[in-house]
Amino acid sequence: MTASDQASHPGQDSPPTCYRHPDRETWVSCVRCGRHACPDCLRQAAVGQQCVECVRGAGHGARQARTVFGGRPSRTAVVTWTILGLNVLLYLVELAHPSLAEDWWMIGYAGPPLQGVADGQWYRLLTSAFLPGTGSLGLLDIAFNMWALWIVGPGLEQLLGRVRFLAVYLLSAVGGSVLFYYLAAPNQPALGASGAIFGLFGAWFVVSRRLNLDSRGIVMLIAINLALSFIYRSTIAWQDHVGGLIVGALITAAYAYAPRKNRLAVQLSASVAVVAILAVAIVIRNGQLNP
């Protein structure tokens, strides 16, 4: 409640002034701390009015809203649209400078000159996921991948939160490259975001199961695309698809099924563990190809 205005209070020689503006007289006080404040320094609260500092302090002390899996909710899928825009932009750059494909594609070990992950170019594990192939097949590749990202990305990002969604996307991309590194010929190059997209497919399946949603649609989508990957295995890097699917499903399961108590610690530990496993796998494969 606020004190009513009046000419003077008994026993008080001069009227009180605002605690922030000493030149302004006021009889109105904050219902929380009791300090007198002018109208510019008061904010309407559930009961009465509070000064701006009390309102600010209450805001800092309030618990922030979280998604069902512990992420910070967002109104817009910023990460999804950023990834989509980056892929399209790099595709246009690749069309203007075709040599970028050779500089960034995923390749295990080839030469001369020597190049590949086994030669220390670990960045190819991730950069290859941001460029499609060239020609009509490359156009089809980026068209499908970006369509899939547009379909499943925003919903996943809102459920997982931006940071967890980005982690799933990037780790799935690297996971797909690592399995390709093991199963494909060392001198066979590959490009495309399919590993990351399949990781999102796996993530959507896990989330659907965790929330008791109908998962038949995503299962059908995964099955059809895996079948096409094996049918056209001469032109499609099926290893990348399978690796991304496995990593995406595993890391999302760790996020979705983490206990509410110590949830952040469990999710962070799972992320670090996946990174460590992928790194060890790369080192082992490097030793096999380049002892």
Give the active site residues. Answer: 194, 241
CB 179 within 8 A of CB 250: no
Helix axes 263-289, 162-183, angle to 10 degrees: 20
Cα–Cα distances in Å, from 63 out to 58, 106, 156? 10, 44, 23
With a CB cutoff of 8 Å and minimum separation 6, the contacts of 146 are 84, 87, 88, 193
SS3 assignment, position 19: coil
CB 255 within 8 A of CB 202: no
Dihedral-angle region of residue 17 (phi above 0 means left; psi in -120 to 50 means alpha; beta otherwise): beta
Nearest to 125 by CA among 232, 243, 229: 243
Structure tokens at 178: 């690592």
**Residue with tokens 């960045």, as numbered in its chain:** 123
Compute the radius of gyration of the chain from its Cα atoms.
28
Element (H, E) at 199: helix 194-210
CB 289 within 8 A of CB 118: yes
Angle at 191 between CA 78 and CA 270, to 5 degrees: 55
What torsion, rounded to 10 degrees, do the Cα atoms 201, 150, 65, 203 define?
A: 0
CB 20 within 8 A of CB 36: no
**Residue with tokens 């009509």, as numbered in its chain:** 136
